[in-house]
């Protein structure tokens, strides 16, 4: 029987990344690679066919020294809620074989590797380039296969993969809660690998619908913004910055427009 979705009480997992704290160290990427069995090439020079579930961009304000400012921006999958927050994220609605799905209980956009037949329409639809194609079969250096996580299936050539907000950790936490006859998860019971790995605490993860979780307050900060918000993708990854130029770099604005004053025109925020 089809499970009834209770949107009102569902969890809605999301992330808040404080760009003022991010040093661009790359720990989040390393943590993610190890946790999710993300394959890598012998030569990673060409980033356009590299697989990574979280990438770090280096932004500058394009001003000459001494006014130069740098900001590092980690970008995982935005786990978009889509227009009207109905789960019609850009990628989910276009996949012809339902190989990517929106989980109404968590708000997480999944990828079913054994269902994906590699048409790449989801990649064309994603404005964040969060989706990666397996151009090659994964090849691990000698003995490294022994160190792969048993909780995450490695992906084969010819399919698309992407950040899952470490969904296997959610499953493990839910199993534990079930055994302990609990329905709700504590905030620290389910955390992503990138949030765990971040040495400066720039990444905060939790339930955006839960007032007791840190992300609930953080997303309402006046410093908060989301990437390409005007496209109405409704991302569940928020960013914090005190710098106006960073906020402006996160979206597109006409010459006369100011980021902070446009929010009323964007549909469905919180």
Partner 1 sequence: MKETPLIPAGVKRCSKWQFSIWMAAVTAVLLWGVYAMFLIWYKGLNQTNMNDAYGFALWIWADLAVIALGGGAFFSGFLTYIIGKNELKNIINYAVIIGFICYSSALLILAIDIGQPLRGWFIFWHANVHSMLTEVAFCLSCYFAVLTIEFIPLILENPKLDKKPFLHHLSHNMHGIMAIFAATGVFLSFFHQGSLGGVAGVLFGRPFAYREHIFIWPFTFFLFTWSAAAFGPCFTILVTKVTELITRKKLVKDSVYQLLAKISGWMILTYIIAKTIDTLYWAFVTAPSKGFTLMDFYASSTYNIGILFAEIVLCGFVPGLILITKRGRENSFLLMTAVILAVIGVSLNRWVMVLQVMAVPLFSFNDWYAYMPSWQEVATTVLPVAYGLIVISLAHRYLPVFPQEKELNPID
Q: Show the site string, 184-223: x = touches partner 1 by CB under 8 A, - = not.
A: ----------------------------------------
**Are the C-beta atoms of 134 and 155 separated by less than 8 Å?**
yes
Residue 59 within binding range of partner 1, rule CB under 8 A = yes
Q: In angstroms, rounded to a whole number, what is the distance separating the alpha carbons of residues 219 and 17?
A: 10
Residue 76 within binding range of partner 1, rule CB under 8 A = no
Reduced to 3 states, what is the DSSP secondary structure of residue 208?
coil
Q: How far is the CB of 254 from partner 1 (least distance, A)?
A: 6
The first and second tokens of residue 31, run together, are: 């943590």
Q: Which is nearer to partner 1, 131 or 213 (CB)?
A: 131
Count, residues near partner 1 per rule CB under 8 A? 57
Q: Which is nearer to partner 1, 12 or 132 (CB)?
A: 132
Q: Which is nearer to partner 1, 136 or 178 (CB)?
A: 136
Q: Which is nearer to partner 1, 196 or 251 (CB)?
A: 251
Reduced to 3 states, what is the DSSP secondary structure of residue 203?
strand
Q: Show the site string, 228-247: x = touches partner 1 by CB under 8 A, - = not.
A: x-xxxx--------------
Cα dist. 48→4, 45, 56, 130 in Å? 40, 9, 14, 12
Interface residue with partner 1, options 5, 68, 136, 260 (CB under 8 A): 136
Radius of gyration of the chain (CA): 19
Residue 124 within binding range of partner 1, rule CB under 8 A = yes
Q: Which of 104, 83, 69 is nearest to 244 (CA)?
A: 69
Q: Show the site string, 245-264: x = touches partner 1 by CB under 8 A, - = not.
A: ---xxxxxxx--x-------
The first and second tokens of residue 195, run together, are: 């949030």
Q: Which is nearer to partner 1, 88 or 174 (CB)?
A: 88
Q: Which of 127, 113, 81, 118 is nearest to 96 (CA)?
A: 118
Strand 160-161 and strand 132-133: pairing?
A: antiparallel
Q: Show the site string, 94-123: x = touches partner 1 by CB under 8 A, - = not.
A: xxxxxx---------------xxxxxxx-x
Q: How far is the CB of 228 from partner 1 (least distance, A)?
A: 6
DSSP letter assigned to residue 47: G
The residues, ordered by sequence, that sit 6+ positions from 156 with a Cβ below 8 Å of its Cβ are 113, 134, 137, 138
In the chain, count of helices (H) and strands (E)? 7, 10
Q: Which is nearer to partner 1, 93 or 210 (CB)?
A: 93
- Token pair 């792969």 is at which residue? 148
Interface residue with partner 1, options 5, 44, 49, 63 (CB under 8 A): 49
Q: Which of 140, 131, 138 is nearest to 156 (CA)?
A: 138
Residue 152 within binding range of partner 1, rule CB under 8 A = no
Interface residue with partner 1, options 24, 25, 40, 88 (CB under 8 A): 88
Give the interface with partner 1 as residue ranges (CB under 8 A). 46, 48-50, 57, 59, 83, 88, 90, 93-99, 115-121, 123-129, 131-137, 156-160, 227-228, 230-233, 248-254, 257, 265
């Amino acid at each position: 029987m089809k499970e009834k979705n209770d949107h009102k009480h569902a969890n809605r997992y999301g992330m808040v990344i404080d760009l003022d704290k991010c040093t661009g160290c790359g720990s989040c990427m390393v943590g993610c690679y190890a946790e999710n069995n993300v394959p890598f090439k012998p030569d990673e020079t060409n980033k356009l066919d590299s697989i990574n579930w979280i990438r770090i961009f280096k932004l500058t304000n394009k001003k000459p020294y001494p006014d130069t400012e740098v900001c590092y921006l980690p970008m995982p999958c935005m786990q978009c809620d889509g227009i009207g927050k109905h789960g019609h994220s850009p990628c989910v609605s276009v996949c012809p074989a339902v190989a990517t799905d929106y989980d109404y209980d968590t708000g997480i956009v999944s990828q079913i590797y054994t269902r994906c037949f590699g048409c790449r329409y989801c990649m064309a639809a994603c404005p964040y380039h969060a989706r990666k194609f397996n151009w090659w079969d994964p090849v691990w250096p000698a003995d490294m296969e022994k160190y792969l996580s048993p909780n995450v299936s490695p992906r084969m050539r010819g399919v698309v993969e992407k950040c899952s907000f470490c969904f296997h950790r959610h499953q493990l936490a839910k199993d534990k809660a079930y055994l302990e006859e609990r329905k709700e998860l504590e905030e620290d019971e389910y955390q992503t690998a990138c949030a765990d790995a971040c040495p400066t605490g720039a990444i905060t993860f939790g339930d955006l619908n839960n007032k007791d979780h840190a992300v609930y307050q953080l997303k309402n900060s006046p410093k908060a913004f989301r990437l390409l918000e005007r496209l109405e993708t409704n991302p569940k990854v928020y960013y914090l910055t005190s710098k106006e130029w960073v906020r402006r770099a996160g979206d597109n604005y006409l010459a006369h427009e100011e980021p902070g004053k446009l929010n009323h025109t964007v549909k469905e925020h919180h």
